[in-house]
Amino acid sequence: MSASTYLMRYRMGERKAVWGELLSLGATALAEPLLSDARAVAEEIVDRAHHNLRLLRDRLIALGYRFERPEEVIVDAAERDRAAVIDLELSMGTLPLIVRTWYQRIASVDFRQHPDQLFYRQTLSADCADLPVVGLGLHVPLVFLRIERCLELRDQMIARCAASQVPSRSFEKFFPVGGYASNCDPKGLALPSQGIDGTLYNDGDGNICFVDELRKAFCSGGFPFWRRKAQYRRGVALIGRRPDFRQLLDSLVDGLQTV
């Protein structure tokens, strides 16, 4: 294959096929002559994700959505963030190629909704209560925290194990990215990685890798929980009222790029 074959095919629309083929190659994709092409595909994925995240952020703000941590919604990586990637790999081992590429470009993504707007209460102001986004952020998947915050979460997990006299070995090489799966397991990666992608979690429906999580999020405007109709009733029980997701979906996904 020529050095540009995978990237060209990816840009021509064979996105799932290309990524699947690169995944199947395992560590082989991390050595030349394939590495340069695999890295270019990873950069293309992150570029598309960055475009989508900025669109979603601006649309949600226009809809009245309140972020829990507005300053961390989407933050481009600075030199200190890229240095943190190097330090992380020196201390814990190699990141999957796509995750390293992500953190070299994007320092933080946090689309969690502010608790005052996530849970419907009678005390909500009339203007807020009528917003279609109230409750939208339940189980939001777009949470990939700064590396230093991820390491703090890991330390907290180890400390809880120590306090409970539970072995913490499983967390020593675990890099949590922020957020939890539906089975309450923390999302994260076992390091070191020898591939271009890595499993974030398995909540009973099979292994979900980093790119899988992005695809699931973007095809649902950032909020796949509300696209699963079987969970509507449970979601309403948790937050008091479901958001008007059908009204929101078309406007949220419009113009998003597939990854």
Closest by CA to 225, choosing from 104, 108, 118, 146, is 118
What's the confidence (pLDDT) of residue 109? 98
What's the confidence (pLDDT) of residue 31? 94
Please report, as a single letter, which amino acid is at residue 66: R
Statement: residue 4 has pLDDT above 70: no
pLDDT tens readout for residues 99-152: 999 999 999 999 999 988 887 655 555 556 577 888 899 889 999 999 999 999
pLDDT tens readout for residues 186-235: 999 999 998 999 999 999 889 999 999 999 999 999 999 887 754 555 55
pLDDT tens readout for residues 165-190: 666 667 789 999 999 998 889 999 99
Instruction: Map residue 138 onto helix, strand or coil.
Output: coil
Interatomic CA distance for residues 18 and 11, integer angstroms: 10
Interatomic CA distance for residues 98 and 209, integer angstroms: 10
Q: Give the CA distances from residue 219 to residues 48, 142, 225, in Å, rounded to whole numbers and listed in that order.
A: 13, 12, 12
Contact predicate 135/66, CB 8 Å: no
What's the confidence (pLDDT) of residue 230? 42
Mean pLDDT of 34-52: 97
Phi, psi of 179 (to 5 degrees): 85, 165
What's the confidence (pLDDT) of residue 127? 56
Q: Which residue has the tokens 């949590």?
A: 176
What's the confidence (pLDDT) of residue 239? 54
Report the predicted TM-score, pTM, of the whole model to 2 decimal places.
0.91
pLDDT band per the 50, 70, 90 thresholds, residue 2:
very low
**118, two tokens:** 């996530």
Query: Where is average pLDDT lowest: 43-52, 135-144, 238-247?
Result: 238-247
Closest by CA to 254, choosing from 225, 211, 221, is 221
**184, two tokens:** 């309450």
For the chain, the residue count is 259
- Spell out the domain ranges in the chain: 5-253
pLDDT band per the 50, 70, 90 thresholds, residue 1:
very low
